[in-house]
Structure 1
Amino acid sequence: MKISEQIRTHRKSNKMSQQELADKLHISRQSISKWENGTALPSFANIVTISELFDVSLDELIKGDDNLKDHLEEKMEPSNVVGILSIAFPLAILIFILLSISHVGSNVIEDIRSLITMVSFLGVAFTLKWHYINKAFSKASFIWAVIFFIGLFMALMPAIEQGIVQAIVEEMKGIKGM
């Protein structure tokens, strides 16, 4: 049975409208309609979610739909993480070498590293599609994420404290100079 028929059959047997299914998948009702009419195919992530939602195996959903199999195989491409890391590591090494050659003080290097870390974290935090992350997190991965962020915060604390102390010292110098 084709995926379009599978989705329609399972949706109706669970007494769900297209809109209700779309809301659970965080997509438009029109997408569900296109899937059920066979004019579009769902992504692998949506197939997995549908499988979990209707308590049906992936094998049962996908088997017999050669178009879907071809579509999923076309979509298989290297992860963005590989591309990002292949640029980030050489760039980080180059920056480290340039800073070492220019005889910049270790305090300045530490401040630059802290700034880059904070800016990149904020960039990721504001551009991440959190609803996908929320679906993907298990309790164990959530605990590891909390541990990671505690470690990150502890690593940044010396730089934050140094900045605060430096600001207070500068303020005190300004008061004494009056």
Structure 2
Amino acid sequence: MEFSDQIKQLRKENNLSQVQYAKKLHVTRQAVSNWKNNRNLLDLEMLIEINRVFHISLDQLILGDDNMNKMTQKLIKDTDENRKAKYNMITTLIGGFLMILGFVSLSRLIR
């Protein structure tokens, strides 16, 4: 089941309008509409909030059924991007440190 379908089902099971649903989650009605229409996907913090408010497991919310849905793909992509960003930052810091070390060593040789 796609994430948008889960959002609709969860809202209907709790007999909530989009406005009521949005108020429970402290977001706008437009945000809920965008989720429902697959225009925007939620971040991890909002998934946790839905889990807390509606008592639905994160596994069910993220994975839906056996098929990988767009939310699962988004979380995997976000994790990969975060991992790459950390790797790039560490590489940059090490490179910067080595350059400074090289300049210091070179300046001592010149004296």
8 Å CA contact retained: 2:3, 2:70: no
Sequence identity, in percent? 34
Which segments of structure 1 move beyond 3 Å, counting only runs of 4 or more?
Answer: none
Structure 2 counterpart SS, 1:39: coil
Tell me, in whole angstroms, the C-alpha distance in 2 between the residues paired with 1:7 and 1:49. Answer: 13
Tell me, in whole angstroms, the C-alpha distance in 2 between the residues paired with 1:17 and 1:66. Answer: 24
The offset of 1:5, in angstroms, is: 0.5
Give the gaps of 5 or more residues in structure 1: 84-178
The offset of 1:75, in angstroms, is: 2.5
The offset of 1:51, in angstroms, is: 1.7
After TM superposition, the score normalised by the length of structure 2 is: 0.62
Structure 1 counterpart SS, 2:56: coil
Q: How big is each residue's C-alpha offset from its partner over 1:110-142, in whole Å with a ceiling of 9 and x where there is no partner?
A: xxxxxxxxxxxxxxxxxxxxxxxxxxxxxxxxx
After TM superposition, the score normalised by the length of structure 1 is: 0.41
Aligned length, in residue pairs: 82
Structure 2 counterpart SS, 1:27: coil
8 Å CA contact retained: 2:35, 2:42: yes
The offset of 1:36, in angstroms, is: 0.8
- State the Cα RMSD in Å: 2.3
* 1:100-111 superposed matches below 5 A: none
Letter in 1 for 2:45: A
Structure 2 counterpart SS, 1:11: helix
Give the gaps of 5 or more residues in structure 2: 84-88, 90-111
